[in-house]
Amino acid sequence: MPETTDPEPLPLDTPRGTGTPPAEALPAPRVPGGAPDRLGTASAASTTDVLRAAESGTAFDGHHPPSADLVSDCVHCGFCLTTCPTYVLWGEEMDSPRGRIHLIGQGLSGEPLSDSMVGHFDNCLGCMACVTACPSGVRYDRLIEDTRAQVERRHQRGTRDRALRAAIFALFPYPKRLRLLRGPLRAYQSLGLQRLVERTGILQRLAPTLATLDSLAPRLRGVPRPPARVRARGERRAVVGMLTGCVQSAFFPDVNSATVRVLAAEGCEVLIPPSQGCCGALSMHNGRREEARRFARQLIDTFERTGMDYFVVNAAGCGSSLKEYGELLADDPEWAGKAAAFTAKVRDLSELLVELGPVARRHPLPMSVAYHDACHLGHAQGVRAQPRALLNGIPELEVRPIAEAEICCGSAGVWNVLNPEPAAELGDRKADAVLATGAELLVTANPGCLMQVAAAVRRRGGVIALAHTAHVLDASIRNLGPSSLLTCPDPPRR
Ligand code: SF4
Ligand code: SF4
């Protein structure tokens, strides 16, 4: 890992060295099709913009280009570097937040969208650790989202990459399609084929991407789907719409069941329309903005007439996108108001529970847990105190910190599928830090992190039980004791 205390700027034109061009040395960013506002939302797409940019060979067209103002906010101090997982792995300036911001500036200055430039953007996990670390408040999140949308619309990827991405986006944002995989996957696991395939390494040789998916697949358990409406226990304090999620509902239905029980115990009536679809997080985080807008409209439409007070989400990646619906649909006159109203109701489960305050009795859980901040909860939503407050509110539960908590575990949506080797390195690093806590249970709030860390712990030969925050609260409220959580849901396969 590079030195953590070196504030010296690194060069922007070579991979290593010293000295960053000062801001005034960078060419003034130029935006084809007109200057955007600070959120990069000034101009609507026009065929003329796109054609003009394509003909001139510049990286970005006038449809939501990354904001030149936001680029200029970066003072090249380098405080973000050591929290950036790709910089930590490779020590390459262009794979740091500062380097990527410089590349965006070059694109705004008229440089073409080269394969190399796109490669550095693609390497970004979107973990937003740099946003937390930046003392200047640079909105890298906005910059990379606008950049990715331009890349997806304007850059021609290689055949294999295109095919892999097409397969991913034809499957993952569709809960019904994912649920169809449950039967075959359960049979594959229960017949011992998964162990056999992993031991022989045959899948790794023949189809590395499938091998990655296989290594991530959690052990599936049969859990009935929640009913469309669950009444509050005791006095009703709120009506809550709930996102069941795509990966969450297909592979972690027990997290949804625990969430519903906890909400009901805390006096919430829970609305769970079975017709709900994807929230669009995966599409939004990967530059597929139109697809994300379509998913967002459908989800708002499903919930807006339910009369809910809050919309609760138990998956960090989904929550961060739901909180951006207002901006995602800001230039759609029909949907902008609805999206803003919807966003105002969105809460992570831990946020809502802290906001409401506990009424259900907590029973002791004499055990130690390590709490892992999912990047899209901690960095993207700033929700760190609430899950810890909830865990600390359980009698006899000891919460232990994890070293390098700010560094991503390497999951990052589908980044670990698209980049299996560096993702495994980051996963192993996280697994070592988790195992070093000596805790009996790892707790986090994102299905991607659960799968990624479980796979890494197995690779490292360690054993630790894993749970969502909802599982722990549910076990405490129902007085189930530590054994209900320590039955390792994902035992070693060897
Ligand atoms: S979002 Fe994460 S991976 Fe991307 S530049 Fe920021 S810290 Fe690095
Ligand atoms: S993004 Fe922020 S922390 Fe990173 S170099 Fe720029 S100003 Fe410094």
Residue 316: which pLDDT band, with cuts at 50, 70 and 90?
A: very high
Q: Are 358 and 396 in contact (CB under 8 A)?
A: no
Cα of 403 to ligand 2 centre, how many Å? 23
pLDDT of residue 172: 87
Query: Which atom from ligand 1 is nearest to the alpha carbon of 87?
Result: 8
- The distance from CA 255 to its chain's CA centroid, rounded to whole angstroms, is 17
Residue 53: which pLDDT band, with cuts at 50, 70 and 90?
A: low
Angle between helices 115-123 and 140-154 (to 10 degrees): 130
Q: Provide the whole-model pTM.
A: 0.85
The domain spans of the chain are 23-154, 162-216, 229-354, 362-486
Domains 23-154 and 229-354 agree in fold: no
Residue predicted with more confidence, 409 or 225: 409
Residue 55: which pLDDT band, with cuts at 50, 70 and 90?
A: low
**Which of 109, 104, 99 lies closest to 147, judged by CA?**
104
**pLDDT, average across residues 339-348:** 98
**pLDDT, average across residues 304-331:** 95
**Amino acid residing at 360:** A
What is d(CA 354, CA 466) in angstroms, rounded to the nearest whole number?
A: 23
211 has pLDDT over 80: no
What is d(CA 71, CA 54) in angstroms, rounded to the nearest whole number?
A: 22
- Residues of the chain with pLDDT > 70: what percent? 86
Mean pLDDT of the chain: 86
Residue 422 has phi, psi (to 5 degrees) of -65, -30
Among 67, 70, 76, 144, the mutation site with the greatest number of ligand 2 atoms within 8 A of its Cβ is 76
Residue 189: which pLDDT band, with cuts at 50, 70 and 90?
A: confident
Exposed, middle or buried, 494 (CB in 10 Å: 0-12/13-18/19+)? exposed
**pLDDT, average across residues 399-425:** 94
Q: Are 310 and 298 in contact (CB under 8 A)?
A: no
For 65-111, what is each residue's pLDDT tens digit?
999 999 999 999 999 999 999 999 999 999 999 999 999 999 999 99
Among 79, 93, 94, 128, the mutation site with the greatest number of ligand 1 atoms within 8 A of its Cβ is 128
Q: Which of 214-218, 360-364, 366-370 comes out lowest in average pLDDT? A: 214-218
**CA-closest residue to ligand 2 atom 4:** 80
For 373-384, what is each residue's pLDDT tens digit?
999 999 999 999
271 has pLDDT over 90: yes
pLDDT of residue 485: 95
Among 136, 140, 142, 143, the mutation site with the greatest number of ligand 2 atoms within 8 A of its Cβ is 136
Residue 56: which pLDDT band, with cuts at 50, 70 and 90?
A: low
285 has pLDDT over 80: yes
Q: Which fold has domain 229-354?
A: Rossmann fold (3.40.50)
Cα of 7 to ligand 2 centre, how many Å? 10
pLDDT of residue 25: 33
Q: What is the 3-state secondary structure (H, E, C) of 266-318?
A: CCEEEECCCCCCCCCHHHHHCCCHHHHHHHHHHHHHHHCCCCCCEEEECCHHH
**Amino acid residing at 254:** D
**pLDDT, average across residues 113-140:** 97
177 Cβ contact partners less than 8 Å away, ≥ 6 residues apart: 170, 171
CATH 3.30.1370 fits 362-486, yes or no: no
CATH 2.60.40 fits 23-154, yes or no: no
Cα of 69 to ligand 2 centre, how many Å? 14
